[in-house]
Amino acid sequence: MKIFAIFGNPIKHSKSPIIHKLFANQLNIIQQYKKIYVPIDKFNNIINNFFKNGGYGANITIPFKKKAYNICDFLTDRGIKSGVVNTLKIIKNNKILGDNTDGIGLLKDLQKIKFIHKNSNILLLGAGGAAKGIIYSIINFGCKITIVNRTYKNSYNLLKFFNNKKNISIIKIEDIDNIINNKKINYDLIINATSSSIKGEVPKISSKIIHSNIFCYDLFYSINITPFLEWCLYHGAKKISDGIGMLIEQAAYSFFLWHGVMPNTELILKQFKKKYFF
């Protein structure tokens, strides 16, 4: 039986074992999948021991996606282009292959709920690992992304990582009011990639970015509406979604990397919501 795990800090909240159990049951695959809490300074030791002791694949969550990238012997194209990985697999000669399924998972979910098209103008809140992991798939699809972060230097570093591509730009958080007031930009979609919702907070950003036709998406997911999405509704947004669809889609791509078969994510999403969200 193949052994898998998700590694993170915190990790108690993770629904990944539930989702991967649903995948395995759907496709009649026998596997073990567990959560592993990792102290901040122990990631390399714990992940290496996991693979030495028979682990076959791993998912990586905050705050270890960059560290996971650094231990890989080989990377998929998505992993290389993203600069962080969330999925690991043991391959020939006990080498570690790294992939990033966050971006493609988000893109698939956005397409399914009709929040995105090839010319979408997107405002991305945040410039950390979560933001970094999704940018490549979104710009490769054809969208334009503007990054805004409370620390401008982090936005600039992210822009540099992606080689100042023409469809990525950055703005200072204090300049948003002027940009909106002067009608220089009208965003189609705003994505919250900050950790604010996990903390029960809302990003400190002008409410002027919200209009009745904007799509609002929070990478965080919850049984209850997230603070960010509640804030969006309060300021006039009509179309919102949390990240549960992305969670399931990215997990499916991880599952495919390990097993070579793709789960039916629409059925899994319905099962998951029915059992755990209602």
Please indicate whether residue 65 is annotated as part of the active site. Answer: yes
Tokens encoding 156: 């600039």
Q: What CATH code would you report for 2-100+250-276? A: 3.40.50.10860
Quick one: pLDDT band at residue 215, thresholds 50, 70, 90?
very high
Q: What is the pLDDT of residue 184?
A: 67
Residue 275 has pLDDT above 90, yes or no: no
Q: pTM of the predicted model, to two decimals? A: 0.94
Residue 147 has pLDDT above 80, yes or no: yes
Q: What is the pLDDT of residue 89?
A: 98
Q: Which of 55, 88, 54 has the alpha carbon at shortest distance from 71?
A: 88
For the segment 154-181, the average pLDDT, to the nearest whole number, is 88
Highest averaged pLDDT of the listed ranges 129-133, 174-178, 203-207, 238-242: 238-242
Q: Which percentage of the chain shows pLDDT scores above 90?
A: 81
Is 103-242 CATH 3.90.1150.10?
no
Mean pLDDT over the full length of the chain: 93
30 versus 166: which is more confidently predicted? 30
Q: Which of 35, 65, 89, 108 is catalytic?
A: 65
* Residue ranges of the chain that CATH labels 3.40.50.10860: 2-100+250-276
For the segment 204-215, the average pLDDT, to the nearest whole number, is 93
In order, the DSSP letters of the chain are -EEEEEEESS-TT--HHHHHHHHHHHTT--EEEEEEE--TT-HHHHHHHHHHTTEEEEEE-TT-HHHHHHH-SEE-HHHHHHS--SEEEE-GGG-EEEE--HHHHHHHHHHHTT---TT-EEEEE--SHHHHHHHHHHHHHT-EEEEEESSHHHHHHHHHHTTT-TTEEEEEGGGHHHHHHTT----SEEEE-SSTTTTT------GGG--TT-EEEES---SSPPHHHHHHHHTT--EEE-THHHHHHHHHHHHHHHHS----HHHHHHHHHHHHT-
Residue 274 has pLDDT above 80, yes or no: no
Quick one: pLDDT band at residue 276, thresholds 50, 70, 90?
low
For the segment 202-217, the average pLDDT, to the nearest whole number, is 93
Task: Please write the tens of the pLDDT for every residue from 26-62.
Answer: 999 999 999 999 999 999 999 999 999 999 999 999 8
* Residue ranges of the chain that CATH labels 3.40.50.720: 103-242
